Every structure is written in structure tokens, then in C-alpha cells.
Amino acid sequence: MFFLSRSLISSISPKRLDFFGSRFILFSTSSALSAEKLITHLKENGSDMEKSLKKVKFKLDTACVNEVLQRCSVDKAQMGVRFFIWAGIQPSYRHSSYMYNKACKFLEIRENPQIIYDVIDAYRMENYAVSVKMFKVVLNLCREAKDANLGLWVLRKMKEFDCRPDTTSYNVVIRLFCEKREVDEAMKLMKEMGLIDLYPDMITYISMVKGLCDVGRLEDACSLVKVMKGHDCLPNAVVYSALLDGICRFGSLERAMELLTEMEKESGDTKPNVVTYTSVIQRFCEKGQSMDGLRILDQMRDFGCKPNRITMNVLIKGLCAEGCVEEAYKVIDKVARESVSYDECYSSLVLALWQIEKLEEAELVFRMMLARGLRPDGAASSTVLKRLCLVGRWLDAYCLYEGIEKSGNVSIDTDIYSVLLVGLCQEKYLVEAAKLAKLMVERRVRLQAPYVDDLVKNLKNSGEEELVSHITRINS
């Protein structure tokens, strides 16, 4: 990153650099000044801070809010929470998910949920008019903290402040209980919605179906999908995908196939997509039924849905793990002509063969790719080169590295350069070592610290002063 930053900076003219730098300083200074003004004001008007904030002129943005939270985190956490809630309802500003994460981190809400109880109690004691929007900010903090019980407490408190919870408010808490695998509590909340004339929406149903499937309650999940249809809330691909995933994990794969076929007959958003098919293929492969995964691939293609790289990676890995390597070659030839490239498919095959310890075959496939002018990806390239270095085949590793260079792919792990350079020098392949060192200088790849001193010392003893100068330049 250091070298990349230098090269980018050097490509910008001094005039432009000054412009960008000045703009950055102005932005940072503006946010810092606003934060400083806010902190001072909050400390002076702690008892009536929300009303008093309207009198202060400042720019409310992410940087400013972040600065205030950071300063409040030391000994003014409750003030920080109240400021965050107030900022979240301002018309000219809206908290991002990033800011909710920062608020939970700075104010330690996960570790100390009591702070939320204290803030709500403080509102009640002050007779402060808390709005639904303010409660939604608090609920989103509970969601970020992943605290279902705290979220339920906040939901119940809304009624005490004459704030009527809406579907969105319930959805936050329902999702939290589903993620906690307490689906009975989530189901109670969904039924409770009907008692106050609220109706579950698509988000409610998605959370519930996924939650029920995660705990293996497939019949309840299927029943809920039927309920959706009865309420004119037609299940979409996300709902069916969650149901399919649950059936694949806890039920019958044959039933999953039936549901997949049913989805194909539907219209609109209910139709299966590449994620749906890939998820089912993955579950089949995990259960050692990769050949059935091939049938799903054919069904997918017949339906007009093209597999992507993830689909192929899952299938190739599954086939190889079951010893069906020939089938993996066949499926690559079949699919690579249509959607996923040979580069991507064969790279996945190299890694899959590696995982089942067919190391020689993995190397042969890799060499075949280079011979055909294909481009192996960074993961496949790094894996093969590391293996050759590990067994001391330094010259072979260097020759393959040259082939990778010619293919146009230089995305390999940076530690390989150091290991390979040391190995070439130790085995006296000094011409190749010099070429590699020169490339490292050009690409500004640093030689790793553990190797530098010994390498330089050995080369000086061998009289290789020119190579030493190359290596010295690498780390300069």
C-alpha cells in the first residue's frame, strides 16, 4: 500500500495535490470545529440538550457525528447515546449502517446494554416527548448490538411513551429473535402485530421462514409460506431460497427438487435465480451427492439461468472430493463455452485437485493452462508456486512464475517473491535470481525482513555485488 500511495501521489501534479490536500484539510477542520462546538454545548446544557441543540449552528455529517461519539466514549456515554438518537432524526442527515456500528463500538452498547435502559428512563423522568423516529434509532442500535432482549424491552417501552410501534419496529425485534434461534418468541411477536392492526410484510416473512428453517422446523416454515399467499403477500425468490436451503439441510433432497420445479412454474419474483440454484447444488455436494448436483446444473441451464463462477467452483470442488474428477473435466468443457470462462473453471479445478492431494495432476492442469494461453487466478498461481518452493523445486517455480507473467496475471502472494528469491540464490540460480530481484524492484515488492541479512551476506561472500545492489534497492 505504501508504494501504491507513492505512485499515485507522484502522478498528480503539485497544483492538483495542493487542491486535494487543501480540500481535505478544510473538510477535516470543519468537522472537528463542529464537533468541538457540539461537545462544549452538550456539556453546558446536559439537562436539556435536545432542545438546546436547535440553537447551535453547525454542519451535521458523518465525520462530525463520529468525532462527537469518540469524545463522549471516555466518560460521557449516556450523553453520546442521546446525541446519536437526536442526530438520527434530523431532516438533513441520516445515520448509515457504518455509523450504527461505530456508535455501538464507541459507546460499548454490546458490553453495557444498561446504557440504553438509562437513556429511556432519563427521557421518562424528564417528561421528554419521545417520537417513533427516535425509538427506531434506538431499535437499530439494538439490532447492531445483536441484543434481542434489549430490542424487545425498547419495543414495549414505546407504548409507555404513547408511540405506536409500526411493522418496521416489529421487524427489527423479530429478526433479532430469529437470528438468536428463539423463533417461538419471534412468532409471538408476529401474532401480536395482528392484534394491533399491523400486518407482516415481506421482510417479516423472510425473517420468520429463515428462522424456522435454521432450527429445522420445516413444516412450520412451509405452513407460513401458505399463510403468506392467503394474505396476498406472494412469496418471492428470497423466501423460497430460504425454504429450499432449510429443506436441503434438514429434509429430503427430493422434496427440495420438487420445490425447485414448483418455483420454475411460477412467474415474476418467485422464479429461481442463480443464487437459488447454486445454494441447492452446494447442499447436494455437502451431502456427497455431487452427481445429483450435475442434474440440477442441467435443470438450471434448461431453465435459461446461467451458472456463475461460484456455481462452478462449488460443483467442481464437490465432484473432485467424491473422486469424480473426469466428470469435473466434462462439466468444465460443457459450461465454459457458455458463461464461466476456462480461466475461472480450470483455476477452480487446480484448487480442488490440490485439496484432495492430487498434487501432480493439479500441477499438470496448471501447466496446461499456461501452455494454452489461459490466465490462472491468483489463488491457483500462489498455491502451485508455494508447493514447488516447499519441496525445493526452485527453478521449476521460477519457470512457472515466468509463465504466469506472460499470461498477464501477476496477482500472487507477495511472500512468494521473497521465498523464491532466497531459494534461487541458495541453489546458485543467480541469473534467474537477478531477473526476479529486478522485477521486485520495478514492482516495489519488499523482501521480507527474516531473509534480508543472511541473503545479502551469502551473496557478498559469493562476490555477487550486482545482485546485492538489486536486493538493497528492493528495501530502500
Are 88 and 158 in a shared domain?
yes
Are 211 and 136 in a shared domain?
no
Are 160 and 210 in a shared domain?
no
Domain boundaries, position 436: 416-476
Are 138 and 77 in a shared domain?
yes
Are 85 and 39 in a shared domain?
yes
Are 112 and 229 in a shared domain?
no
Ranges 44-58, 250-264, 272-286, most confident: 272-286
**Length of the chain counted residue by residue:** 476
Measured CA to CA, the distance from residue 151 to residue 170 in angstroms comes to 9
Q: What average pLDDT score do residues 259-285 get?
A: 86
Is 113 contained in some domain? Answer: yes
pLDDT attached to residue 475: 65
Is 148 contained in some domain? Answer: yes
Residue 133 burial (CB count, 10 A): 11
Are 420 and 467 in a shared domain?
yes
Q: What average pLDDT is seen over the chain?
A: 85
More confident residue, 36 or 160: 160
Is 384 contained in some domain? Answer: no
Place of cell 455501538: 104
More confident residue, 112 or 18: 112
Band of the pLDDT at 4, cuts 50, 70, 90?
very low
Are 204 and 161 in a shared domain?
no
Last residue of a domain, one of 213, 239, 269: 269
pLDDT attached to residue 161: 94
Last residue of a domain, one of 219, 243, 269: 269
pLDDT attached to residue 450: 73
Band of the pLDDT at 442, cuts 50, 70, 90?
confident
Are 36 and 115 in a shared domain?
yes
User: Residue 113: CA atoms inside 13 Å, Cβ hemisphere, count?
Assistant: 17
Is 231 contained in some domain? Answer: yes
Place of cell 559469493: 462
Residue 402 parent element (H or E): helix 394-407
Does the pLDDT at position 202 exceed 70? yes
CATH number for position 261: 1.25.40.10
Measured CA to CA, the distance from residue 245 to residue 210 in angstroms comes to 9
Are 133 and 231 in a shared domain?
no
Band of the pLDDT at 461, cuts 50, 70, 90?
low
Last residue of a domain, one of 148, 165, 182: 165
User: How does pLDDT run across 376-394, given as a tens digit for each residue?
Assistant: 999 999 999 999 999 999 9
Are 124 and 237 in a shared domain?
no
- pTM for this prediction: 0.71
Measured CA to CA, the distance from residue 225 to residue 22 in angstroms comes to 57
Domain count, the chain: 3
User: How does pLDDT run across 140-176, given as a tens digit for each residue?
Assistant: 999 999 999 999 999 999 999 999 999 999 999 999 9
Write the CA distances from 372 to 338, 340, 343, 403, integer angstroms.
19, 17, 10, 11
Place of cell 457525528: 65
Is 470 contained in some domain? Answer: yes
Are 42 and 144 in a shared domain?
yes
User: Residue 259: CA atoms inside 13 Å, Cβ hemisphere, count?
Assistant: 25
